[in-house]
Structure 1
Amino acid sequence: MPNLQETLDLSSYVALGDSFTEGLNDPGLDGAFFGWADRLAGMLAQGRPRGEFRYANLAVRGRLLDQIAAEQVPQVQRLQPDLVTLCAGGNDILRPGSDPDEVAERFESAVARLADSAGTVLICTGFDTKDVPLLKHLRGKIATYNGHMRAVADRNGCKVADLWSLRSVQDRRAWSEDRLHLSPEGHQRVALLAARSLGLRTEEDPEAPWPAARVLSAADQRRENIQWAREYLLPWVGRRLRGESSGDHVEPKRPELMPL
């Protein structure tokens, strides 16, 4: 089956973003998080001589769009990669009173800066949150933001990984226990979608059916929701109220283009 190098000459890749791209809740062998971007880099490196493909991941959990634009985008201008992925703005959209139109304008400004420094730019839409507690109330804002993302891609010649239409991640098993970050299998599904968005024909299908799962009773679902709120939701809300971020004092896990 043909690989990506037959259609695009990519030998370097830089990933930008927040916890989604850092790879939270997809533990690697070295104790660091792995994630969809690392998985995508591995797919892109296949078929190349060992060490020829270089990869950097500058994403840091909790980062807002303006922080990504200030801290990470200038590094792309220095590194000049063949490919850059930018998935950002989700943390901004989650904030009360945020305006998806205004966030999208700032996102496009970042994309315009990247277009001069990278051969190919891939961006991501947001996930469909219709079945996610609390976040389902933000579904309209996310849909509006997604419409802007597609327009930004059209105007700037970007590739798009459409996470909203990825039906396989509607399964609970695509998400970790905190319901905010993907599980390892969820990260793999997104990596496959990103690869296909770039033109790679993967043997695995990002929409492959999940195995049959046990159906929870209403009582079990309530117990799970209460436990989730206690362990994950309340601490998350508390950090927001205190103005804290999970990314405080966290550095990028792979700040330079290094061979895989």
Structure 2
Amino acid sequence: MQTNPTYSSLVAVGDSFTEGMSDLLPDGSYRGWADLLAARMAARAPGFRYANLAVRGKLIGQIVDEQVPVAAAMRADVVTLVGGLNDALRPKCDMGRVRDLLTEAVERLAPSCERLVLMRSPGRQGPVLERFRPRMEQLFACVDELAARHGALVVDLYGAPSLADPRLWDVDRLHLTPEGHRRVAEAVWQTLGHAAEDPEWHTPVPATPPPGWGARRIADVRFARHHLLPWIGRRLTGRSSGDGRAPKRPELLPYEGPLL
């Protein structure tokens, strides 16, 4: 692969992970790893253009129907695709259908761009996700197979010890903190062939004393009340956190923002 390449455009496709939750900005919007990556790429390429089509809560079928055709038509230099994990985390999931839809997405996007980037999503330590790990690993095996077949790049976030650390996850236990998003942006940056700005992004963060029993129980109660129960309610009623929500950057336009 070319070292320190210059790309003129980026389109990000996916769900809440790519939208940027929970990297919250002062105005209430979300930034996230894709915005951080776009800022770095824009610093290298005058006139750099960026679109982020990702919307929280989207399943892989919705990504294929709503985002993939739009992204393919943009003919960007780089397209990132992360999807399928929302499906895998549902109580009932047809992983065969997920694989078929992810395959369709890759087959449509790969010919439309110079570089397609796929990811093995990060996995937080803890008992809640343990029951879903077999499905996650099936999904990531599919990602690896598709990348090999279509010449796509794979960013292995699942295998990074730092991103398994609960301290890099927000209180909802589903989305990364700003530091987590920064590390993901660094991982994608390096995978694209750029010189490392943080060679140790994947290494564990320094150890700190674990919270006491009381603090853990308070955190568990807050998590259940503010995040787990609403999530279950949406699942039972067939609703999504992204219903009616438009992408934050629906058009491939010149990047306007801080060159972080």
Matched AA of 1:90 = L
User: Which residue in the other structure is 1:191 paired with?
Assistant: 185
Q: What is the distance in 1 between the residues matched to 2:229 and 2:127? A: 13
- Gap runs ≥5 in structure 1: none
Whether the aligned pair in 2 keeps the contact of 1:37 and 1:191 (CA below 8 Å) is: yes
Q: 1:174 aligns with which of 159, 164, 168?
A: 168
Q: What is the distance in 2 between the residues matched to 1:197 and 1:13? A: 14
Deviations 1:78-108 (A, max 9, x none): 2110000000001111122213343122101
User: Which residue in the other structure is 2:148 paired with?
Assistant: 154
Q: What is the distance in 1 between the residues matched to 2:164 and 2:226? A: 22
**TM-score, normalization: structure 1?**
0.92
The answer to whether structure 1 residue 22 and structure 2 residue 16 are counterparts is no
User: Which residue in the other structure is 1:137 paired with?
Assistant: 131
Whether the aligned pair in 2 keeps the contact of 1:22 and 1:60 (CA below 8 Å) is: yes
Deviations 1:4-56 (A, max 9, x none): 9854341000000000000011123543210011111112122333xx11100
Whether the aligned pair in 1 keeps the contact of 2:118 and 2:153 (CA below 8 Å) is: yes
User: Which residue in the other structure is 1:87 paired with?
Assistant: 82
User: Which residue in the other structure is 1:203 paired with?
Assistant: 197
User: Which residue in the other structure is 1:42 paired with?
Assistant: 39
Whether the aligned pair in 2 keeps the contact of 1:76 and 1:118 (CA below 8 Å) is: no
User: Which residue in the other structure is 1:255 paired with?
Assistant: 250
Whether the aligned pair in 1 keeps the contact of 2:2 and 2:193 (CA below 8 Å) is: no
Q: Secondary structure at the match of 2:179?
A: helix
Whether the aligned pair in 2 keeps the contact of 1:101 and 1:148 (CA below 8 Å) is: no
Matched AA of 2:21 = L
Deviations 1:187-214 (A, max 9, x none): 1111111111111122213125424423
Deviations 1:202-260 (A, max 9, x none): 22131254244231123432332222112210111011111111001110000111212
User: Which residue in the other structure is 2:91 paired with?
Assistant: 96
Matched AA of 1:75 = V
Whether the aligned pair in 2 keeps the contact of 1:168 and 1:209 (CA below 8 Å) is: yes
Q: Map of 1:97-116 to 2, 5 A cutoff?
A: 97-116=92-111
Whether the aligned pair in 2 keeps the contact of 1:132 and 1:179 (CA below 8 Å) is: no
Aligned length: 254
**TM-score, normalization: structure 2?**
0.92
Q: What is the distance in 1 between the residues matched to 2:202 and 2:157? A: 11
Q: Secondary structure at the match of 1:134?
A: helix
Deviations 1:135-187 (A, max 9, x none): 22111111121111101110111000111111111222211110111111111
Q: What is the distance in 1 between the residues matched to 2:93 and 2:204? A: 36
Q: 1:75 aligns with which of 70, 87, 107?
A: 70
Whether the aligned pair in 1 keeps the contact of 2:6 and 2:45 (CA below 8 Å) is: no
Whether the aligned pair in 1 keeps the contact of 2:24 and 2:31 (CA below 8 Å) is: yes
Q: What is the distance in 1 between the residues matched to 2:128 and 2:197? A: 36
Q: Secondary structure at the match of 1:165?
A: coil
> Percent identical across equivalent pairs?
44
What RMSD in Å do the two structures reach over aligned CA positions?
A: 1.8
Q: What is the distance in 2 between the residues matched to 1:48 and 1:119? A: 16
